[in-house]
Chains A and B, each alone.
Chain A
Amino acid sequence: MAKKHKPRVKAPKTASPGEVMEIKTLISHEMESGQRKDRKTGELIPRQIINRFECKYNGETVFSADMHPAISANPYMAFYVKAGESGELEFLWHDDNGDVYSHSQKLEVA
């Protein structure tokens, strides 16, 4: 299940100009640190984590975070964004294996 890497985002659909919006995100991910050993074979389990999270607002990065192996599984990220123009919020999670999981939603500013 955790292999599906399903993003969850809680962000407002509408906002007034200049409003500071709280945005909450969570993605299911095992965040394998690369330091654990396989119990049966004794071999190291290769590292696989989300190493970067980004939030883009109309194409411009308004929030980003670099993550390292000590971040726990299913990372939760909450931050604030100031509403400007109507447009699109895009959320990107960059996996070590090169995959990018994304979620986008419209924001109406009036």
Chain B
Amino acid sequence: MTFKTIAIALAVGSLAGGAALVASYGSSAADKSGIPYRDGEYETVEAPEGSPLSELISGYYFRTPETRELQDDDFMNPAFIWMEQGAELWSTVEGEAGESCASCHEDVEASMKGVGASYPKYHEASGKLINLEQRINLCRTESMQAEPWKWESDELLGMTAYVRHQSKGMPVNVSIEGPAAPFFEKGKDFYYQRRGQLDMACATCHEVNYGMYIRADLLSQGQSNGFPTYRLKWQKLGSLHRRFRGCNRQVRAVPYANGSDEYVNLELYLAWRGQGLPVETPAVRQ
């Protein structure tokens, strides 16, 4: 990781008595580089081979110091309400098989370490790509013979966050080769496909214009390393697919369903765009 500082000069412009904000970068200004929140310091991770980004920046650095503070303190972070629920559910016996997550996986810290960082993954039995939520529900329906949790339910969010939290600080590490390759390509196509009445692709905001303001909002690289994340706007923990749906709606496109193949493929492509970024689950965003 490298540290960077951006120096921000505030110049009072002569234009209509307004103030102009001029930012200059600590390193090469020629690089297409993000402009994280105005207080300056941020960390970068080297982009994976073939990435269109020159450096990877977590969404953390695009948020205000106050929002970051919420994430930094496990007590202050409201997502831990769901995490605690996830911890309880881990050893709760449900379903006809009379088993809990702990019956097979035992100690969560040992068994789930690094797992969350490697999803979505190719699932042989179904021949499809599945993400962490779907993996958890497969465990419920197949091993525990219990009802699957609903998408965006507190239970599924809590468990997903709890499992992914065991990889906190570890680099995102998804496989895009072998059987996962075709799904990766589909996800990539989705990312660059313009859609909706506004005719915008994911890349329009998060690749070409990150670091710029879209009205009052600072655009990030759209990294997924903090999901499920507590969004202040939602006032609760939310999944990555909920965020996808929001993005799609904002460009006035019809969103896909939570857990749809389209979104799982996109999730893989997006994870690769952040390959190497530390997992921050559960993050806090604005």
Contacts and interface: CB of A to CB of B under 8 A. Distances in A.
A1 B76 contact: no
A1 B154 contact: yes
Interface in A57-110: 72-74, 76, 78
Contacts of B75: 8, 10, 24, 26
B235 A26 contact: no
A48 interface: no
Contacts of A74: 78, 81, 235
B158 interface: yes
A51 interface: no
Given A1-B81, A1-B85, A72 B235 contact: yes
Interface in B143-178: 154-155, 158
A61 B232 CA distance: 31
B227 interface: no
Interface string B225-267: 0000000100110000000000000000000000000000000
A31 B236 CA distance: 12
Interface in A5-55: 6, 8, 10, 24, 26, 28, 30-31
Q: Is the interface of B mostly helix, strand, loop or mixed?
A: helix
A31 B235 CA distance: 10
Nearest to B153: A1
B154 A72 contact: no
Contacts of B85: 1
A78 B76 CA distance: 9
Contacts of A31: 235
Please classify how large the interface on chain B is, using the bins under 10, 10 to 19, 20 to 34, 35 or more: 10 to 19
Interface string B67-111: 000000001101011101100000000000000000000000000
Given A1-B82, A6-B81, A28-B81, A73 B236 contact: yes
Contacts of A72: 232, 235
A26 B158 contact: no
A76 B81 contact: no
Contacts of B82: 1
B87 to A, nearest CB: 13
Contacts of B158: 1
B154 A73 contact: no
Contacts of B76: 24, 26, 76, 78
Nearest to B82: A1
Question: Which of B75, B80, B81 has most chain A Cβ within 10 Å?
Answer: B81
Given A8-B75, A26-B75, A2 B232 contact: no
A2 B82 CA distance: 9
B78 A2 contact: no
Contacts of B81: 1-2, 6, 8, 26, 28, 74
Contacts of A1: 81-82, 85, 154-155, 158
A73 to B, nearest CB: 4
Nearest to B81: A28
B6 to A, nearest CB: 30
Interface of A: 1-2, 6, 8, 10, 24, 26, 28, 30-31, 72-74, 76, 78
9 closest residue pairs by CB, A with B: A1-B154, A73-B235, A74-B78, A28-B81, A10-B75, A1-B85, A24-B75, A72-B235, A76-B76
Interface of B: 75-76, 78, 80-82, 84-85, 154-155, 158, 232, 235-236
Given A2-B236, A8-B80, A76-B76, 15 more contacts: A1-B82, A1-B85, A1-B154, A1-B155, A2-B154, A6-B81, A6-B84, A10-B75, A24-B75, A24-B76, A31-B235, A72-B235, A73-B78, A74-B78, A76-B78
